[in-house]
Amino acid sequence: MDEILRMMVPLLEGCRITVALFAVTLCLSIPLGLLLALARISDIKPLNMAVEFYNWIMRGTPLMLQLLFVYFALPAFGIRLPDVTSALLAFVLNYAAYFAEIFRAGIQSIPKGQYEAAKTLGFTYVQTMRRIIVPQMIKRVLPPIGNETITLVKDTSLVYVLAMNDLLRAARTIVQREFDMTPFFIAACFYLVMTFGVTRVFNWLEKHYARYEE
């Protein structure tokens, strides 16, 4: 028991970094994804094509490659970022592209008649989106957003390539030093707890919004 408690100190520190990376990425990538989705469906052709190209690049290349590019390639252009900032930049840009496509599909699933009805009532485009389209879209995209959020919890482990002392790296360091597999099991429990919490939150959100459909 004393050995496990001793291991918990670096593991909890690694868990703190993992949770912080997850929370900040989620808070920044969701609103950015919504803005990209609105740009993707806009009537401005150059903007539409630019966002489509961006989403294709970010969704078509591995997140690990994007992490390495931000960390190693940007300094070649005179842009040097701290480890945490580099990781956050890569994660936010990557997940914003995925969220953008989810939001785009959700917005386009709303019947065209609702846009026409809002226009008849004198709503502007912004008012239509904010008051009518986006609230309905949220209910429809919660399941895929929940799946992406769970994936984000697990993808945070990729920051080990930047030598950041996240949960998985902390566990691996102890295993390599002490030849004891226990830290891996503890790390697995941490990830399971986090994904369980995310699942419960999204289940509650789905039930909460489902009340308005009754």
CATH of the domain at 47: 1.10.3720.10
Cα(35)–Cα(31) distance, rounded to whole angstroms? Answer: 6
Q: What is the pTM of this model?
A: 0.88
Instruction: Give residue 197's pLDDT.
Output: 94
Instruction: Give residue 120's pLDDT.
Output: 82
Bigger pLDDT: 114 or 154? 154
Provide mean pLDDT across the span 134-139.
84
pLDDT at residue 101 above 60?
yes
Instruction: Give residue 2's pLDDT.
Output: 60
**Structural domain for 117, as ranges:** 2-213
Phi, psi of 110 (to 5 degrees): -75, 130
Question: Are the C-beta atoms of residues 136 and 73 closer than 8 Å to each other?
Answer: no
Q: How confident is the model at residue 213 (pLDDT cuts 50, 70, 90)?
A: low
Bigger pLDDT: 35 or 14? 35
Q: What angle do CA 195, 150, 181 make, to 5 degrees?
A: 55
Q: How confident is the model at residue 134 (pLDDT cuts 50, 70, 90)?
A: confident
Q: What is the per-residue pLDDT across 38-79, written as a single tens digit (0 to 9) for each?
A: 999 888 899 999 999 999 999 999 999 999 998 888 888 888
pLDDT at residue 205 above 70?
yes
Domain count, the chain: 1
Cα(28)–Cα(85) distance, rounded to whole angstroms? Answer: 13
